[in-house]
Structure 1
Amino acid sequence: MKFVFDIKDELLIWVRDIGRTNGFVIVIRTSDYGGGRKRQRIYLACERSGKYRSRKKLKDDSKDLLKQTGTKKCKCPFDLNVYKLKTNDKWILNIVCGLHNHLATEHLQGHSYTGRLSANEKSLLVDMSKSLVRPKEIHITLKQRDALNMSTMKTVYNVRHRYRVLQEAGRSQMQQLLGELVKHKYIERHRCEEGSMTVTDLFWAYLVSLDLLRTFPRALIMDCTYKTNRYQIPLLEIVGVTLTHMTFSVAISYLQIEVESAHARLKRQLGSSQTTFEISFEKIHCLLELQHIQVKASFEKKSERANLVGVDVAACGCVLRHTHGLSCAHEIADYMRQGHSIPLSNIHVHWTRLTICVHNLKVEKLELSCIVELEMILKRFNESAIATQLGMLKKLREIANPASTFVIKPVVKPNPHRGHKKIDTSCRRNLCAFELVDDGHDSQSTLAYSQSKKKRALKVFDKKQKVKTKTYRKRTSLPSAYAGDFLPMLIPFIKLMKDVDGEENCGFRAIAGLLGLGENDWVQVRRDLLLELNNYRDEYVIR
């Protein structure tokens, strides 16, 4: 039986698809490109054709035994012959033997050969990985595009890893990161540990973000995010605000400092806490580009609105004037009654910009020269010792080509908290302030009261029989331990001190604990505070 095909690739795809549908894997056994009077030929066979051939030979008179190995080869007779016609470019498929001497494979998922991805599938996988699509979703997309796709999650991970290795091209992680920063025209600074080349601080900023900063320099928010990398270095993010209430990242920095709170959007973008600097940069770069698109889109959609509430100042309240620097309701009503437009002098400069002020050095025609600095460097180089000259050469080489840097990544810090923490599961509420502190007593009396209570509890425990009980680790609060942190003049007026967990809601936790609600009831305290501000907004407006 013979079949005719116009293209060789079409023939191979058809044969392999038919084989996978029936549970067999067809491979190219040998091929002959021809030449002269010979025609091009391709010999196809089953993957289980032939017999196993050992790649290692034992030495003569050796007592070593061959390692026990398994093989899929079973001398399957299935054979196909493909050749190209000389008269035209058509390909002929000739079935020499269409029988197999083994059972068909029921499941081909994860097969070493059928699980391979085509060039188009690999290109799609790489593009989706650049768009920060998760491997699971990439795998689902490949399955939806091709019902005969037999790849597994391991295949996706292997292709991603192979692409990353090709991108690095033998460079270290820091060389790859600095090279990408230069490629995307970032402003980058870094510092190393004294006496070594280990990076301790890393900073980068996008040029478009700096243009936005020059346009809207009035409000900046700085906050740190923890657990974003395997080096346990806090990630500092500087955020600006536009007139359309859109936020944009000004700069990103890894600093060995501790600042409280976190940015939820950046945390969601970074995801895992075991990423490297290089992977963090890829995710942050995508986040910055999306932010800039959203900010520009908000400029186009923003339009002015005016609400007519009359010219009564008392009814207006002038909240918008005091908080945002814009004309309030009664001012707009007065302008409309007079038929005048709102003067720009009556609007804060923050609200008069709907474009990004691009900092263009070519327009300013700045003439900069580094001849004097180079002469100073050359003079110092000639006067320095060999060790200093080598250090200067390293720095100059790094400035000229950041991808050739010799700095190394920080050491991965292990997780100090292993296993699950034991917590206090007691349902008893904490005592209120008025239950612990009486009039005329200070923190020392509270401490003595708690100690006497513990002694009474120990006496009762000694009288009981020996019973196995669970032991939990509980944070002990010593009110007198923090007295030295306050001014001496304030200590006589302090009735109670409470230590709470140090995180972004520590203020609400402290209030909840002092009110007797319990430290974990800080959510209720926050809700009550917001309700108070909403109900009596006029009382809290800054005049």
Structure 2
Amino acid sequence: MTEPYLYEEDLLVDAACDAACGSGNVEPPSNIIPWVPPRISVDATHLFTTDQIFDTRDELEQWAKNVGKANGYVLVIARSDYAISGGKVFVTIKCAKHGIYRPYKDPNTFKYKKTASQKTDCKFNLKGRPTKGDRMWWLKVMDGKHNHEPAKSLVGHPYVGRLTEEEKGLVGTMTSTWTPPRQILAALKENNPSNLTTITQVYSCNKRFKKEERGPLTEMQHLMKKLVEAKYVHFERQQADSSEIRDLFWAHPDAVRLFNTFPHVVIMDCTYKTNRYQIPLLEMVGLTSTGLTFSIAFCYIVREHTIDYVWALECMKSLIADDARLPQVIVTDRDLALLSAVKQCLPNCTNLLCRFHINKNVEAKCKVLIGTDDFALSVMENWKCLIYAETVEQFDEEWKEMCVMCKDFPDFISYISTTWLKHKEKFVSAWTNSVLHFGTTTSNRAESAHSTLKRMLKDGRGDLCASWDAVDRLTTVRHNEIKASFERSINLVEHRFKSPMYTNIRGFVSRKAMQLMEDEQNRVMRDGCGCVFQVTHGLPCACALHSYDRIPYEAIHTFWKILGWDHVPIGSQASNHGDLKSEIDGLTAYFNTLDVAGQSMLRRKVKELYCPSSSSLCPPQVKIKPKRSSKAMESKPPSQQKPSLQRDPCYWEHVNNSLKPTPNKVSCPRSKKSKKSKQSSTSIYLDDLPSFFHQYIEKVIDTRHRSRRLAFD
């Protein structure tokens, strides 16, 4: 009998020797030296020899495995029979290294990359049988010798690290709450110090849990089922002549109630890199009386065109129970398609632009066209005086001063006049001071909501179900925080608000409103009262506050008095919201006018409404990246190959990065410095060009700026 090999590669070496030597007794060539494993024989018979009688087969198996684990050996069930169809009842326990690995392909053609095997043809063998009378179990050692040394540590062994049913339940529960796998593994080790599970097995268990949760349903069927079970309000659109999903809108039921309670201000902004389909996610957020942000709705839109924004806004409008309570202020960025959609759907609404992004873009353009010296700083100071002008007359004076100051830089004047000041009513204080916006003049709340969502997603490779799961968990946490803030405003009184001045409103308005009034009083001591606080925030201005001994309850806007969302105001137009009789009658009449094929199609669509698991919708197609980008990804270190959730830099971020001073490094070659300067020149104006052109652009030159500079020289 030949000696067993320790690894399957030895079989290939032996085969190569046989082929080289031929069929006779010929010595192998000197350059081929077969490796012969050392003869190892470890007798473990005394460890498993016992007179103990076990009550059940499970006790026998567990005893043998525990003894093997304590001595560095892993035992598995090789064969067993319960004698259901006749025969003898027995169980055979062998070493995990029993048998010889047999490749499923021809060893001469199969390329071994990262495959491995632990088989060493170990002959260790135990057999358990029940007694004839009371069916107790006894154990017999058939062969107690191992042909390998005991393991020094069993950490990393796949069989020993298997999870029990209780541990699998714990992993499933923690996975459903978006607990990171490393924290799940730490919890397993804490509950059972002898646990030998590795992080790879936790990831595998996570994957199996998610697969079992979805079952035979497709991605869209599973998503629709979750939306219906959680009672989400949702709308969807399909591609023309296709079952592929185009746009998807959903809103949490509590978010709908919050929106009906606080419909005054809506902030809208898109975020990217949240799913493997690369579809933009439009998030609509609102503001509560306690100063917290809540998500109104989420909408996946394939294209950011006006017609798509109109559809999303119409879905948002359908959440309002009374048309008289439609949003009065919407804050967005300068997306022309979104601005046009807001004008169509909400003509009576005031559309404000984000001041933060406007200032950043103007500052970046000033650095490019004017410079970074003291004069450029003076220009930006003048710009801030311009946008914060409180009257139209003051705005006109500041604009004239800006034109005189920058008369040598006509490109900069043209930029701010044609790009931004054509929308001056949407961000200049002279016009926004007449709008009740409750202090919301930027889209930073939406940006913060995007950041929180992406921290839960962790990467952009998930499908739409993964995105919905993250949104659902995040929404639940936010709503609990909002409820707690309402209770704090009612029951907790800050010591600074115990003065008689707040007696009439303490516990009846939010603490955020009282904080704003205190800040207004402190501000007037420095800057004086402009008497716009009542208009923009719905709170008494500083001069009115100084005239009050006690702030009257009637002087506070209703927005700050709402400390809950249990009551959703229903108007006269909402009287028929709970009745579907007219729609069902119309659907029945339309059904009777169709032929057999049309009736079958309509019946299937109606069934999808109350049985979402039968939906025929398909997810969008995954956008395949070009080969160039994949090679660039492979050239990066492994820690950076995961798709990033970080958004692409804006124009002003490109400018700041390009103008950032670089340290002088002696070891840096001259060629790399020139390459870096070339990169910075291309990145300044990339934001003004379509993204699909970026990979073909080598250099961007502003010819107007260059000709002006040459003329001055």
Distance 1:373 1:83, change over 3 A: same
Name the amino acid aligned to 2:72. Answer: G
Aligned to 1:76: 123
Q: Secondary structure of 1:278's match?
A: helix
Aligned residue for 1:326?
539
Q: CA–CA distance in 1 between the matches of 2:109 and 2:566?
A: 77
Q: How does 1:130-529 map to 2 (within 5 A)?
A: 130-258=176-304, 262=447, 263-302=450-489, 303-304=492-493, 306=497, 315=525, 317=529, 321=534, 324-327=537-540, 336=549, 342-359=551-568, 368-415=578-625, 418=629, 419=632, 470=675, 472-473=678-679, 475=681, 499=685, 501=687
Residue 374 of structure 1 deviates from its aligned partner by 3.4
Amino acid at match of 1:217: P
Cα distance, 1:384 vs. partner? 2.9
Note the residue ranges of structure 1 that are not aligned, 5 or more in a row: 59-63, 430-465, 478-497, 504-512, 517-543
In the TM superposition, what is the alpha-carbon distance from 1:427 to its structure 2 partner? 7.5
Q: TM-score, normalization: structure 2? A: 0.52
Task: Name the CA distance, whole Å, in 2 between partners of 1:66 and 1:220.
Answer: 61
CA distance in 1, matches of 2:235, 2:269: 19
Match of 1:454 in 2: none
Letter in 2 for 1:283: A
Residue in structure 1 matched with residue 94 of structure 2 by the alignment: 45
Displacement, 1:54? 7.5
> What's the secondary structure of 2:94's corresponding residue?
strand
Identity %, equivalent residues: 32
Preserved CA contact (<8 Å) 2:243 2:618: yes
Matches within 5 A, 1:4-23: 9=58, 11-23=60-72
Distance 1:309 1:254, change over 3 A: same
Is the contact made by 1:42 and 1:83 (CA closer than 8 Å) also made in structure 2? no
CA contact (8 A) 1:203 1:254 kept: yes
Whole-angstrom distance in 2 between the partners of 1:343 and 1:394: 60
- Relative distance call for 1:333 and 1:53 in structure 2 (3 A) is closer
Letter of the structure 1 residue corresponding to residue 587 of structure 2: I
1:129 has 2:169 as partner: no
Which amino acid in structure 1 is aligned with residue 166 of structure 2? N
- The 8 Å contact of residues 120 and 147 in structure 2, kept in 1 or not, is answered as no
Give SS of 1:275's match. Answer: coil
For 1:360 and 1:101, how far apart are their aligned partners in 2? 79
Deviations 1:154-200 (A, max 9, x none): 32232222222222221110011000111111111011111211111
Q: Deviations over 1:312-337 (max 9, x none)?
A: 9975847865653335677667665x
Distance apart, 1:137 and its partner CA:
2.8
Q: Are residues 24 and 350 of structure 1, via their aligned partners in 2, closer, same or farther at CA, if it must alter by over 3 Å?
A: same
Q: Is the 8 A contact 1:219 1:240 kept in 2?
A: yes
- Quick check: 1:2–1:94 contact (8 Å CA) kept in 2? no
Q: Counterpart of 1:373 in structure 2: which amino acid? A: E
Residues of 1 paired with 2:457 and 2:660: CA distance? Answer: 39
- Select which of 65, 69, 73 maps to 1:24: 73
- Relative to structure 1, is the Cα distance of residues 11 and 300 closer, same or farther in structure 2, using a 3 angstrom cutoff? farther
Shift of 1:74: 2.2
- Equivalent AA in structure 2 for residue 77 of structure 1: F
Change (3 A) 1:502 1:109: farther
Residues 228 and 271 in structure 1, CA contact (< 8 A), matched pair in contact too: no
Gaps of 5+ in 2: 1-49, 305-331, 334-442, 503-519, 636-653, 662-670, 690-701, 706-713
How far the C-alpha of 1:377 sits from its partner, in A, is 2.7
User: CA offset at residue 292 of structure 1?
Assistant: 0.8
Distance in 1 (CA, whole Å) between partners of 2:117 and 2:481 is 58
TM-score, length-scaled by structure 1? 0.66
SS in 2 for 1:224: strand
Find the aligned partners of 1:65 and 1:221 in 2 and give their Cα distance: 62
SS of 1:2 mapped into structure 2: coil
More contact order relative to length (CA 8 Å, sep ≥ 6): 2
Q: Displacement of 1:40 after TM fit?
A: 6.8
Which letter does structure 2 place at the counterpart of 1:356?
A: W
Q: In structure 1, how many angstroms separate the alpha carbons of the residues matched to 2:255 and 2:577? A: 25
Q: Which has the higher helix share?
A: 2
Structure 1 counterpart SS, 2:146: coil
Provide the secondary structure at the position in 2 that maps to 1:253.
Answer: strand
In 2: Cα distance, 1:215 partner to 1:273 partner: 33
Q: Which whole-Å CA distance do the structure 2 matches of 1:247 and 1:476 have between them?
A: 38
Q: For residues 464 and 560 of structure 2, what CA distance do their matches in structure 1 show?
A: 37
Superposed CA offset, 1:232-258 (max 9, x none):
111111112212112111111111344
2:660 and 2:586 mapped to 1: Cα distance?
73
Of 372-381 and 280-289, the range deviating more from structure 2: 372-381
- 8 Å CA contact 1:39, 1:85 repeated in 2: no
Considering only aligned residues, what root-mean-square deviation do their CA atoms show, in Å? Answer: 4.7
Matches within 5 A, 1:52-67: none
State the alpha-carbon separation in 2 of the partners of residues 114 and 136 from structure 1. Answer: 19
Moved more, 346-355 or 256-265: 256-265
Q: Is the 8 A contact 2:272 2:278 kept in 1?
A: yes
Q: Is the 8 A contact 1:22 1:104 kept in 2?
A: yes
Distance 2:543 2:252 in 1: 42
AA partner of residue 196 (structure 1) = S
Contact persistence 2:453–2:470 (CA under 8 A):
no
With over 3 angstroms needed to count, the CA separation of the structure-2 counterparts of 1:95 and 1:368, relative to structure 1, is: same
CA distance in 1, matches of 2:476, 2:241: 37
Answer yes or no: is the 8 Å Cα contact 1:47–1:73 preserved in 2: no
SS in 2 for 1:254: strand
CA distance in 2, matches of 1:67, 1:474: 46
